[in-house]
Chains A and B, each alone.
Chain A
Amino acid sequence: MLLEQIINGITLGSIYAIVALGFTLVFGVLGIINMAHGEIFMIGAFIGVLITSVLGLPLWIAFIAAIGVTVILGYMLERIALRPLRGKQGVSHLAPLISTIGVSILLENLSHHIFGAGNHPFRHSFAQIQFQVGSITIYLVQILIFVISITLMVVLSYWLSKTKAGKALRATAENLETASLLGVNTKRTITTTVILASALGGIAGILVGMAFNSVNPQMGLSMGLKGLAIIILGGMGNVKGAMAGGLLLGLAETMIVAYGDSGYRDAIAFITIIFILLLRPQGIFGKNTAEAGR
């Protein structure tokens, strides 16, 4: 049973990690908590359902469509809800938080009207492929999710540290004004970040649909809150921290169900947050100084 539970935990944790990657990117560059990220994730999942179950098209199209739609959403989020607040006089540091909450309410209720309130099944034969290892059943989807999350993390880390665009992004994260003085197109960099983060959300959405066969308009909120917890755990703006934090939370949640009281499953994320913040506010993998590995 332990092994099975570990697999469950890793699957869940990998999804959390991808969601948290999107959170952490936006926070790292803009210093903003994007409360709409969970809802963008949810829309991604719905696009997956629409393409595979309703239209009956292959999975790769679903991925492309989900990424496409979430990229557009990300762009709109940046243009409508974030850019107008930037550089404006007298803007409280809470304004972007509220603005993204507005987007999240809007998206949740919009998808309510479009898709209805119920759960939508994600029917795809790919989700049924399984292996038998001893007494344990492993689904290909579970492996895929894990691989995708690791790949995304590695690619993202590489992109941030080695490529020019990544360096521009980090420079912007470090200091927006200095970066723009040094010739970085900060506007474009910020837009890229938000778009990239949204696309990550869209990918996570499809993966959840495949793994758990459950897509509904409310899933964004719960996932959003978990993602928030993870970036605290892993250090805000830290890519590897988000990955590790996600896996840790996924495993912890699974273990508390397996060996403790499942009623406290949702609390574990938040209890961890409180303790981490009080003992090590920069998170497990965060560094104290501004040179934190964003």
Chain B
Amino acid sequence: MRNSFKKVYLLISVLMVVMLAACSEDETNATSEKSGGPVSAKIGVISYMTGPGAAYGEAITNGFNLALDEINEKGDVKIELIIEDSAGKQDQALTVAQKLMSSDDIVALLGPTLSTEMNVVGPEADINGIPIMGTSTTAAGIPQIGEYVFRNSIPESLAIPAALEKAVNKYGAKKVAILYGNDDLFTQSGFDTMKAEAENMGLEILTIETFQKGQSDYNAQLTKIKDLQPDLILASALYNEGAVIMDQARKMGIDLPFVGGNGFNSPQVIEIAGEASEGLIVATPWFGEKDDPKVQDFVKKYETEYGHKPDQFAAQAYDALYIMAEGLKNAGVADRDALRDALAEIKDLDGILGKFSFDEDGDVIMEPTVLIIKDGAFQQFE
């Protein structure tokens, strides 16, 4: 028996070595050149590309790739992206992060997509001293993980109060109902902000309803909400579920405006829910109809490249790479610590989202725009 154990162990260890070797094939020892010319650097991207949230990862990598071509064409810096899939799972995000971090010529990380993943990857990146920037992580406390952790996505604590305040003032709302997805960090975190802000503004919360991933029937929750007759519905949902919720609400005869969080903001809402999406109010850093040549240029390029309009995830990713490029240019060398310091210094960088700066934690300083869906399009909400 003992011999066979050894044999199996041998088999397993051989297998392990072979496969591990396969895992690390792209870890060549080429170090980046530092002398003269444009800085060239490799940046690791951790994105959610397979699984239920693959749509977000897709938009994000599209944004990166679009920016990448432009930046490399300009030639101030030369960037190479190494994109890895995390499948939206923390352990896989951590593993690919380790993989990227252990390759010395990678100077920074972009992503991961979800805040749950960032909660795991962030501390590790911070310990290893590699700058990491989330482009879609909006939950509270992310940049506070450490001094190497940044984000360029505007947090819910900035977006939701802005939207809520405008909506309440406009409609004179006093009673609200809240609906949120309670098995998702993103929507849960949005709900926490919503509830705190609603209490803060002295609104009466009639009911708090939840829904779960993969649910397709929201009629029960909506019927209950309809019966309580609120003035406003606050919905912390991702656009995929959010659009369906609005559709079912309108069918039921609920004509109230909806206030949504960051994840609710996407042109896809209009595509999925059609007319039912009228009256959705969101605050966002990204407004695709903005009268800015930079923005329009991006939208046009994105549409020709990928066949549909960009959403905020694509826009934030696009800007994020420009921020990285600016950091690299200012740092002058492809070095992790130099890049971190250069990133922290970034002030009023002009992007498609507007003027961008980091605060002392590495969080976003930015004024969100409040939008409403009207006549089948996002419009500025006054």
Contacts and interface: CB of A to CB of B under 8 A. Distances in A.
Contact of A213 (B50, B214, B244, B253): B244
Contacts of B271: 121
Interface range for A? 35 or more
Nearest to A5: B223
Contacts of B221: 257, 262
A12 B219 CA distance: 9
Contacts of A211: 217
Contact of B211 (A116, A130, A139, A262): A262
A9 B248 CA distance: 15
B369 interface: no
A12 B215 CA distance: 11
Interface in B71-108: none
A213 B219 contact: no
Contacts of B248: 212-213
Given A139-B251, A213-B248, A219 B220 contact: no
Contacts of B230: none
A262 B271 CA distance: 28
Contact of B244 (A12, A119, A258): A119
B54 A219 contact: no
Interface string A195-219: 0000000000000100111111111
A267 to B, nearest CB: 10
Interface in A105-150: 109, 112, 116-121, 123, 130, 137, 139
B54 A112 contact: yes
Given A117-B58, A121-B273, A265-B212, A8 B219 contact: yes
Contacts of A238: none
Most buried by B among A4, A119, A218: A119
A119 B243 contact: yes
Contact of B216 (A123, A219, A254, A266): A219
A213 to B, nearest CB: 5
Contacts of B247: 121, 213-214
Given A121-B273, A212-B244, A218-B214, A4 B55 contact: no
Most buried by A among B52, B219, B224, B268: B219
B126 interface: no
B55 A118 contact: yes
B37 interface: no
Contacts of A208: 216
B224 A118 contact: no
Nearest to B49: A117
Interface in B42-60: 50-55, 58
Interface string B167-190: 000000000000000100000000
Interface string A162-199: 00000000000000000000000000000000000000
6 contacts: A121-B243, A121-B273, A213-B248, A258-B223, A262-B210, A265-B215
Interface of B: 50-55, 58, 182, 209-221, 223-224, 227, 240-241, 243-244, 247-248, 251-253, 268, 271-274
Interface of A: 1, 4-5, 8-9, 11-12, 109, 112, 116-121, 123, 130, 137, 139, 208, 211-219, 221-222, 253-254, 257-258, 261-263, 265-266
Given A120-B272, A262-B220, A263-B210, 7 more contacts: A8-B217, A12-B217, A117-B53, A117-B58, A118-B268, A213-B244, A222-B215
